[in-house]
Structure 1
Amino acid sequence: MTETPAEGGPTSQPTEQGWQAVVEDMAATAEAYRDRGWTTLELHPGDSVLVDSEFRTGLDVVLPGDEYEDLEALAADASFTDVDVFQAAADTTTYLLVVEKDPDSETAVFVPAYYDTASSAEKLDTIRESGELRLFCRRLNDDYVEFVHENVAPFLPEQPNA
């Protein structure tokens, strides 16, 4: 079945192999944190996209309700002041594993994500120019937990001729 993507929507989806690799890396990395005594939360977004609208600019991931509630509860008690970002690219898809960390409480949230690099040039430029990337972890009713990052480079592909 072939369908035309919605106007303005992502033009490519992650490959099953690429996405599975990110999820497997997340599980292994989270296990290493748990072995060191950290509290961890692994998220499994149903969708992930770069957004630039009047409502949100940044990386938007949609979570299942139960995972969102777990994240909301953790975020209420933690101060996520550190982040690790692991990035890989395949064709026009950029894959990320974002590890939001609260070193004081030894709590880590693992957010796998992806976005279509080819169709996101303007959004990537907006993020670079603002010097800030916001990661919105939300559920379908638009409730969200937001992580703000002033170092955008780990989230974005290298610019050609940069």
Structure 2
Amino acid sequence: MRAEDRHHTTRGLLLPAIAEGLPSDTSPSGRWWVDVGLGDALYDPVPLVQGAYAQGPMRFGMEAVEPEGLGDWRLSHDPSGWFTGVLLVDRPVEMNVFTQRHVTDHTCESLPEWVDVLKSEFDLSFDDVPDEAMAALWTSVRRTHDEWLASRQSA
């Protein structure tokens, strides 16, 4: 990533949302990181204030990223979670960014297409993963996704 792009990317696992205008004792600025789909992460919004936060059985950390770092904020995940942390670029984006990502994230119809998206969008490499393991993972992902779609349609 070019240095001039480090605060302007929408590339990554998710597009986090920031809520503003909600000041409180824990967030005098009124700015909050709102979980819009991390899965096993936040129960409640976390203030965009450096600190440690307990939610249910999990512990999270919020820290400002150094000027030479990538992004503006880092959410550290509880050690029991499936990821270690998430970087946040603190800038507004248009709704079409979410729409484009949703289309990309939900239209893979084949294993090669899915792997290409994972490589290009998330910088993931699967060079050392056997083809059989990738095929099994793809089958599991598709089955889980199809079950989820079916549950949404019947709800």
What TM-score results when the alignment is normalised by the length of structure 2? Answer: 0.28
- The structure showing larger relative contact order (alpha-carbon pairs under 8 Å, at least 6 residues apart) is 1
Q: Which structure has more strand as a fraction of its residues?
A: 1
Computing the radius of gyration from Cα coordinates, the structure with the larger value is 2
What TM-score results when the alignment is normalised by the length of structure 1? Answer: 0.27
